[in-house]
Amino acid sequence: MTLLNTVKLIVVSFFLFGLLACGGESSTANKTDAKVVSTTTPTPKTTTSPTKSSTPKKVIISGEDMTVKSGEEFCVDVQVTNFIDVVSMQYSTNFDNEILEYVEVKNPSLKDLSTKLGVNFARAPNEDNTLRFTWFVQDLQGISLYDGSTIYQVCFKANGKSGTQTEVDFAEKPMAGEVGIKSGNSFVPAQAEFGAVKITIE
């Protein structure tokens, strides 16, 4: 079962529970309009507010290329573009563990996102070069962020020699890449692009 199907199942469960609690009766007084939830993020790269579109744009997960020193600990800003009414995400962050040593995830800016391993992030056995990520917003209200917003930082120690180049790759394997958005009263998969950050060790 994909993460988006899990979200849909939660919605159906809440709906059925509500019907049982109300004796099967419904009331228009209990209906509310969906609200867009925004989180506090670093200064956005654009002054244009996130806006909805009749045709959702491709959600992009990426970051900016970096130059670091050998032996240095550094953090990659995981950034988003076209992040409109997003309710769920999952993907893998892949890296060469002989060059980059995973340290931690920190500074989350998404609602209901924990940086603790075993909650939203996981290191699976025999996957020393992968960090798995899965998340959904628990109130099921879509979240919209400015283009260039950082949703969290993933930190490494540069163990490679000076002159080495490598990548931190946001990928659709080994965990399938998926972004779910709220569209009206439904939850649907969005087109998504998972980029990579080039790391140069000097």
99 contacts 201 by C-beta, under 8 angstroms: yes
Tell whether 41 is covered by a domain: yes
Q: Domain of 141: which CATH number?
A: 2.60.40.680
Structure tokens at 147: 């283009």
Render pLDDT for 22-31 as a digit per residue (tens, 0 to 9).
Answer: 344 433 334 3
Tell whether 3 is covered by a domain: no
Q: Give residue 154's pLDDT.
A: 98
Q: Give residue 58's pLDDT.
A: 96
Tell whether 26 is covered by a domain: no
Tell whether 43 is covered by a domain: yes
pTM: 0.76
Q: What residue ranges of the chain have pLDDT lower than 50?
A: 11-49
Tell whether 145 is covered by a domain: yes
Q: Give residue 23's pLDDT.
A: 41
Our CA angle for 179, 166, 104, nearest 5°, is 60
Rounded CA-CA distance 62/50 in Å is 18
Q: Give residue 14's pLDDT.
A: 35
Tell whether 5 is covered by a domain: no
Q: Give residue 53's pLDDT.
A: 53
Q: Give residue 56's pLDDT.
A: 73
201 contacts 161 by C-beta, under 8 angstroms: yes
Tell whether 23 is covered by a domain: no
Structural domains of the chain, count? 1
Q: Give residue 194's pLDDT.
A: 97
Tell whether 4 is covered by a domain: no
Q: Give residue 51's pLDDT.
A: 57
Q: Which domain holds residue 78?
A: 33-201
